[in-house]
Structure 1
Amino acid sequence: MSSSSLADQVRKAAPSIDSVVSEYCAGYVSYLASSSASAAANVESEVTFVRDLLVNAGASTRAVTALAQNLLAELVPLYKAKAAAADHGNSAVGSGTSGSGGGKLLDQALVIGAQRDAMSSVGLFGTTIDLDAVGGRKVDSRVDKKKLEKAERKIQAKLEKRAIKNVEYEASKLINAASTGEDYDEFFLKVNPLQLGNGGGANGGHAKSKDIKIDNFDLYVGAGQRILSDTSLTLAYGRRYGLIGQNGIGKSTLLRALARRELSVPKHITILHVEQEVLGDDTPALQSVLDADVWRKRLLKDQDSISKQLAAIDDQLNELPQVQDGQQQQQQQQLENDRAELDATLNEVFAKLTDIEADKAESRAATILFGLGFSAAQQHNPTNSFSGGWRMRLALARALFCKPDLLLLDEPSNMLDVPSITFLSQYLQGYPSTVLVVSHDRAFLNEIATDIIHQHSERLDYYKNSNFDMFYATREERRKNQKREYENQMAYRKHLQGFIDKFRYNAAKSQEAQSRIKKLEKLPILEPPEEDQTLTFRFPEVEKLSPPIIQLENVSFSYDPTKRTILSNVDLSVQLDSRIALVGANGSGKTTLLKVLTGQAEPTKGMVQRNARLRIGYFAQHHVDSMDLNLSAVAWMAKTWPGKSEEEYRRHLGAFGITGTLGLQKMQLLSGGQKSRVAFACLGLNNPHILVLDEPSNHLDTAGLDALAEAINKFEGGVLLVSHDVTMINRTTRQLWVCDDGSVTQYHGDIEQYKRDILAKADSSGVVQKH
């Protein structure tokens, strides 16, 4: 195989890294293939050098490993053939030159090996190595010397950045220390040195700026897939940023990189990332939140320990006789010195506890927990008694209680109900530090965001002093202006080019044609404006039915007759023209009501009437649990709803944005939003009359939410929607029913009035507090 062919393999194996780096490696491989300087024994180390260089530059480990195997397969036979040819030539000349020929070959092998070692340590990042001089002869090289120097500088910068191991702080794991294998308390104390003064509390009194400015960085996910390129991140202290973008664009990856300090966040800035649920144990929920502030916990422990030591010293002093010998006097003096030292230390502990307002901690923790849905009784339940969703709320409560300088939230509304989202929104509006939240909940972003960051096309665009609605309007205006400018330039270019083509060879007009050629060359090259991703969901047409469709009369339900009743005396009907939103706190019985409506659970009292021909499309909140993720979407649908051809299944999936090969790959490779789209596609397979949707907006991006809302509005059957997404409720429903303490009643007002009632109730009880 030719050296150019091997170089092309290098380029194909690393298409996403900087071109100067890939060209550098391609040139190096070309040199290896065209040179007779190496021996077969050294090929493996040379290929390893190229492989490591590509991986460190951000190439896919899997692709580069395959490349290395191919290079070895090509180069080893090549060098063996060259060695055999050299031996044959030396033997033909005579024994007198044979030794020198063999020595020459060995010397050359040592030279290139030494060269590689130098490049991998000092030479690559220091002096420039002349590849042509190696081996004593000139070799055609594809590497431009200036590009080589530039590549060396870039590689050095990337390797230095990746070599930084900030062992001091991996903040995302403060929520769940088990993932590090390190004790939470020890880890917290190590990474959060207590800094006091100026009334700032723990970590709040230093004069250093808490603004974050990270310039010109690349960010990768998985095996070398780049999600941000030559990007800058700017977060002003005290601002609340909404980070938005399509599903799979890398928003969560950016949050994790900040939390783990893979990006250079200043060390004096504390970070908490609500990513993992709290581990369950026998610790009460309230104590778990208090324990999250390890400095307070440690200071209280020190206070108790010092107080006990002082009491012991007082007892010893009281036991000493009034008349003392020299040894007893010395002992008394020592005890008094120890007491003075302990008094001084205790005063310092008191000062620190006062500075961090430790006396208010319990009431503040209880307020946060109550706002997130934990009743006074639940706050004293052990953490292992809560489900995963409630432990995520507990993780959020711990983060809010610690008040980090940078709070990172990833889709927090997915784990909350409307009352809790209302509380969180109100709480964050008074939050004193910086917040970066990933969310597709427009109403939530409208309430809490002071700025929007739009992640797309490997870059971040900033919209200052904007909530979601303002961002959307501004971005649309930007896009229209860019499109208008682009179209105007294209028309002008076409006009100039037409004149040039017509009069280029006309002697009388040649000067004007040349003038227009210069104008054309000076025009800036504009990129066509980015088009928004558009999705269209489509539910099937509805066969008409005579009422009643679904009727609940005096229905009660309990999983265990000896325990509390989940639903009590519920009267509710759903017709083909119904557009009902069901809201209420988590645990109030909303999902249970849906199960009774759909026939998955039988009422313990009362009657449920359903039309005999009724078909229901049910979207479960945890729909992924029912999917076989080892199958493709097409295979799973064929297995679960047989009777159609593969083409019909693919066409049906295409109506919900699962197009091309997405329907044929394993569902475990799909994003959360794509799995949801598969679930929505399955709703239409039985041509339902009624859609019962339990939290359908979770995991969908803006385009998916728009498509779902439009599809619901076009659906001609009835809809019963359980959702925390205020925007989705406003866009798709006409009636609001509230589930509270087992009762289900119609609310005579819209969702905004319902939220105002929640805030009024919280304010009267003192739950929502400004910071």
Structure 2
Amino acid sequence: MATFVEILRSEFPQLDAEVFDYVTGIVDSNSSDLESVDDLFEAVGELLQEVSGDSKDDEDIRDICQRMYSSLRLDSQRSQGQNQVLLDAPIQLSKIAENYDPGSEPMTVLQMKKEQSSTVDVKKLEKAEAKLKAKQERRTERDVQKTLEPLILEEASASQATSKKENRMESSGKNKSYDVRIENFDISFGERVLLTGAELNLSAGRRYGLVGRNGLGKTTLLKMMASRSLRIPSHISILHVEQEVAGDDTPAQQSVLECDTLRESLLQEERALTTRINAGKADGSESAKLSEIYTKLEEIEADKAPARASIILAGLGFNPRMQQQTTKEFSGGWRMRLALARALFARPDLLLLDEPTNMLDVRAILWLENYLQTWQSTILVVSHDRNFLNAVATDIIHLHSQRLDTYRGDFENFIKIKEERLKNQQREYEAQHQYREHIQVFIDRFRYNANRASQVQSKLKLLEKLPELKPVEKESEVVLRFPDGFEKFSPPILQLDEVDFSYPSGQHVFKNLSVSADLESRICVVGENGAGKSTMLRILMGDLAPVRGIRHAHRNLKIGYFSQHHVDQLDLNISPLELLAKRFPGKTEEEYRHQLGRFGISGELAVRPTASLSGGQKSRVAFAQMTMSCPNFYVLDEPTNHLDMETIEALGKALNKFRGGVILVSHDERFIRLVCQELWVCENASVTRIEGGFDEYRDMLHEQFRKEGFL
């Protein structure tokens, strides 16, 4: 593509040399401030219009500015990252020196031009330069203001085409269906389009698993549905479990019971009427109304509600004592479980769950799988847990390429059908490609044969009518790479010997704990929430000191730690690139980008504010930060939370290739089977090694469920 100088010279061959130098100087020295064609036209368009006379109109000048602007942008991209600036022509220093007075102020381009004879309207030049200077000042002011303003995140928005028929049915109250049908809708997040022309159909009573890569918009879709930014019939009740319960003095069980608003209002009315009757302030109508309330309470089986709430809470890990604790006494993780319990108890027509297994241990996940299998209304769940989706989902919705595709069956069936579809599409693509090649060979062979001219023309028309041939869309493979830190150490590498540990509050966590690991270890720690899994990891790392016993670690051991609350460790107001530079100063930008690229944070993602990234992308940034110093032993606490399935698979493969030791806490069955060779169970203030691995642990939990009456 021609440079803007060449474009100017070809379009204005008779242009006065002084004006030519001035225009090219203005454009070249201020190219970074020209943000659009309008800016360029404003700077030099009026001047070019004047010198062109009647030979070019306003549209011609704007078209020339458009070509010059495109050339500028291309040059900018080519030279990005370089510190050198190449001039279009040599600077005549001798001419500048002749007019230079050392005691005077530095001369501007305009002042130098004024001292030379010119036929150009100097006022036009002054006006153009003044406009550009004002624009530079406004831009500088905006940049300063941005640094003073707090970070404002982009917001999601949705738009949807609605049919008049559905609107009439909705307004008339005739729509009694509990199916959800959302057609032709778009969802954007800031300037980024997540879904376009999408369609979502949810049949009442079916359980849908929503899957797709991190950052494509799964969570945003759920939020748009919950807020009814996408039109869902008003008679369908929706519950979206996304925020933890606010802590107050309400007991956990009562907090769950209060979700049944009909039962609560009837009980409140019943208490008020009973008080009036007992006080002798009631007339005959109160007794009749009280009788009516009792009938309604019986119809909704209000007396069975406490038992049902207790079963749900117990299944999610709340023992009888915890069920009577106030909500403010629970940690954030337990309050999220409480929010899930409230949603399950409320039984909405449409239940929206976003990664529900993130907050649960293996035992609670198995209980939830069994509970949801008998769910009567509609569920849409985002989950990265393949086993959970295989147990719960009747259908899978795949979000990709800004659209939604629905598959009948569980996750394994979805994988099978999707792979078969891709194979068929690839076969069709190859067949079409061969067909086109066959026609093209005929055309090329007889193009200049007069006797075959009509046939060649026919083949050309046939080729033109064929639909555009597009290659099969395949999702790129996720690859994570952990840098090796392997050295041969003489054992023991990491060991706890007869360790006792308790918190200052008096809570006894471990007694006589003895465990050990080496650089070949692949250990998974499981157990109920609160059993001490995370505490044991912190003792192993040396963050917590035993009350009694010994922690031994090899002097050359370098531990990398991934916390389940990794987001708390990230500065969300800066980009991943800045985050690494701040944590590990002294390296080049290329080194930081290479490190982030190991975990899929590349290109534009590396320079966006970390707060704007999805949960899975933030996890990848945390992995990049953790591995920057090349540890030889990793301690990972719930590393799969927020990751999509493809990234979990890639993480498992990366850990298997890593030459060093690994201890992790996880509830993802597939990930555990993929990575771990040993299973440690935390319970009863001790740790037990299970020889039979995860299968034996799963059988143990099922046996507990049978004893407790859950199965």
Structure 2 vs 1, CA of residues 457 and 160 (structure 1 numbering), >3 Å: closer, same or farther?
A: closer
Q: Which residue of 1 aligns with 2:234?
A: 267
Cα-to-partner distance string for 1:64-108 (whole Å, 9 max, x where unaligned): xx99x989999xx9xxxxxxxxxxxxxxxxxxxxxxxxxxxxxxx
Counterpart pick for 1:212 among 169, 180, 183: 180
CA distance in 2, matches of 1:209, 1:664: 47
Deviations 1:263-286 (A, max 9, x none): 221222111110111111100111
Displacement of 1:563 in angstroms is: 0.9
The alpha-carbon distance between structure 1 residues 499 and 72, as it changes in their structure 2 partners (threshold 3 A), is closer
Q: Which moved more, 1:304-313 or 1:566-575?
A: 304-313
Which residue matches 1:320?
A: none
- Per the alignment, residue 219 of structure 2 pairs with 252
2:264 corresponding residue in structure 1: 297
Q: Which residue identity lines up with residue 387 of structure 2 in the other structure? A: A
How many angstroms does 1:242 deviate by?
0.1
Deviations 1:636-670 (A, max 9, x none): 22332345333222212211112224333332232
**Residues 1:654 and 2:654 aligned together:** no
Aligned counterpart for 2:427 among listed residues 480, 484, 488: 484
| Equivalence for 1:221 | 189
Pair 1:231-2:198 in alignment: yes
Alignment-derived partner of residue 598 in structure 1: 541
Is the counterpart of residue 532 in structure 1 residue 499 in structure 2?
no
TM value normalised by structure 2:
0.74
* CA drift at 1:626: 1.7
For residues 448 and 650 of structure 2, what CA distance do their matches in structure 1 show? 55
Aligned to 1:693: 636
1:90-489 equivalence runs, <5 A: 208-223=176-191, 225-313=192-280, 338-339=283-284, 341-464=285-408, 466-489=409-432
Tell me the secondary structure at the aligned position of residue 674 of structure 1. helix
Question: C-alpha separation between the residues in 2 aligned to 1:355 and 1:434?
Answer: 23
Question: Judging changes above 3 Å, is the alpha-carbon distance between structure 1 residues 291 and 572 closer, same or farther for their aligned structure 2 residues?
Answer: same
Partners of 2:216 and 2:400 within 8 A in 1: yes
Structure 1 CA distance for aligned equivalents of residues 176 and 216 of structure 2 = 33
Contact 2:159 2:185 in 1 (8 A): no
Q: Which amino acid aligns with 1:631?
A: I
Kindly state the Cα deviation for residue 161 of structure 1 after the two structures are TM-superposed. 6.4
Aligned with residue 516 of structure 2, among 555, 564, 573? 573
8 A Cα contact 2:161 2:183, kept in partner: no
RMSD between aligned residues: 2.9
Taking structure 1 as reference, are residues 689 and 349 closer, same or farther at Cα in structure 2, changes over 3 Å only? same
Distance 1:489 1:251 in 2: 34
3-state SS in 1 of match to 2:628: helix
Deviation at 1:625, TM superposition (A): 1.5
* Partner-residue secondary structure (3-state), 2:636: strand
Contact 1:213 1:235 in 2 (8 A): yes
Amino acid in the other structure paired with 2:434: A
C-alpha distance in structure 2 between counterparts of 1:402 and 1:312, whole Å: 34
Distance (Å, rounded) in 2 between the aligned partners of 1:212 and 1:460: 15
**Larger displacement relative to structure 2 (396-405 or 684-693):** 684-693
Q: Is the 8 A contact 1:423 1:759 kept in 2?
A: no
Indicate if the aligned counterparts of 2:251 and 2:327 stay in contact, CA closer than 8 A: yes
Q: CA deviation at 1:518?
A: 3.7
- Return the match for 2:705 from 762, 765, 768: 762
In structure 2, the residue matched to 1:663 is 606
Question: After superposition, what is the alpha-carbon deviation per residue over 1:508-545, rounded to whole angstroms, capped at 9, x for unaligned?
Answer: 22233233224323433342211113221111221221
564-573 or 210-219, which deviates more: 210-219
Identity level (%) = 51
| Superposition deviation, residue 311 in structure 1 | 2.9
Q: Structure 2: which 5+ residue stretches go unaligned? A: 1-34, 47-157
Letter in 2 for 1:428: L
Task: Tell me if the contact between 1:578 and 1:718 (Cα under 8 Å) persists in the aligned partners.
Answer: yes
Counterpart contact for 1:618–1:691, Cα < 8 Å: yes
Q: In 1, are the aligned partners of 2:209 and 2:397 still within 8 Å (CA)?
A: yes
Pick closer, same or farther for the CA change 1:545–1:485 going to 2, 3 Å: same
Alignment partners' CA distance in 1, 2:159 and 2:535? 54
Q: 1:490 offset after TM fit, Å? A: 1.5
**Structure 1 residues 544 and 664, CA gap change in structure 2 (3 angstroms):** farther
How many Å separate the matches in 2 of 1:639 and 1:218? 38
- The match for 2:650 is 707
**Match of residue 445, structure 2, among 502, 509, 513:** 502
Deviations along 1:2-49, whole A, 9 cap, x unmatched?
A: xxxxxxxxxxxxxxxxxxxxxxxxxxxxxxxxxxxxxxxxxxxxxxxx
The answer to whether residue 674 in structure 2 is matched with residue 738 in structure 1 is no
Alpha-carbon separation, structure 2, partners of 1:72 and 1:586: 65
1:593-623, Cα deviation, whole Å (9 max, x unpaired):
0111111111111111111111111111112
> What is the aligned partner in structure 1 of residue 57 from structure 2?
none
Partners of 1:212 and 1:234 within 8 A in 2? yes
SS at match of 1:533: coil
Question: What does residue 718 of structure 1 align with?
Answer: 661
Q: Does the 8 Å CA contact 1:581/1:722 hold for their aligned counterparts?
A: yes
User: What is the deviation of 1:711?
Assistant: 0.2
Question: Deviations for 1:424-465, whole angstroms, at most 9, x for unmatched residues?
Answer: 11111111111100011111111111100001112110101x
In structure 2, do the counterparts of structure 1 residues 482 and 211 end up closer, same or farther at CA, with 3 Å as the change threshold? Answer: same
| Cα separation, partners in 2 of 1:207 and 1:219, compared to 1, 3 Å | closer
- After superposition, give the CA deviation of every residue in 1:379-416 in whole Å (9 maximum; x if it has no partner): 11111111111111111100000011110000111111
Aligned to 2:244, what secondary structure does the other structure show?
A: coil
* Alignment correspondent of 1:543: 487
- What is the rounded CA distance, in whole Å, between the counterparts of 1:160 and 1:521 in structure 2? 34
1:732-764 C-alpha deviation (Å, 9 max, x unpaired)? 001111111321111232324323322321232
Query: Quick check: 1:607 aligned with 2:575?
Result: no
Q: Indicate how the Cα distance of structure 1 residues 262 and 72 shifts in structure 2: closer, same or farther if over 3 A, else same.
A: farther
Q: Which moved more, 1:537-546 or 1:237-246?
A: 537-546
- 5+ residue gaps, structure 1, are 1-65, 78-156, 170-194, 196-205, 317-334
Q: 1:221 to 1:630 in 2, by over 3 A?
A: closer
Q: How has the CA–CA distance of structure 1 residues 72 and 766 changed in structure 2, closer, same or farther, with 3 Å as cutoff? A: farther
Tell me the CA shift for residue 685 of structure 1: 2.5
Structure-2 separation of matches of 1:547 and 1:661:
45
Q: Give distance in 2, aligned partners of 1:633 and 1:260.
A: 31
* Aligned-partner SS, 2:415: helix
Q: Cα gap change, 1:762/1:158 in structure 2, threshold over 3 Å: closer, same or farther?
A: closer
Could you tell me how far apart the structure 2 residues matched to 1:72 and 1:280 are? 60
Whether the 8 Å CA contact 2:215–2:617 is kept in 1: the answer is no
Determine which of 552, 562, 565 is the counterpart of 2:496.
Answer: 552
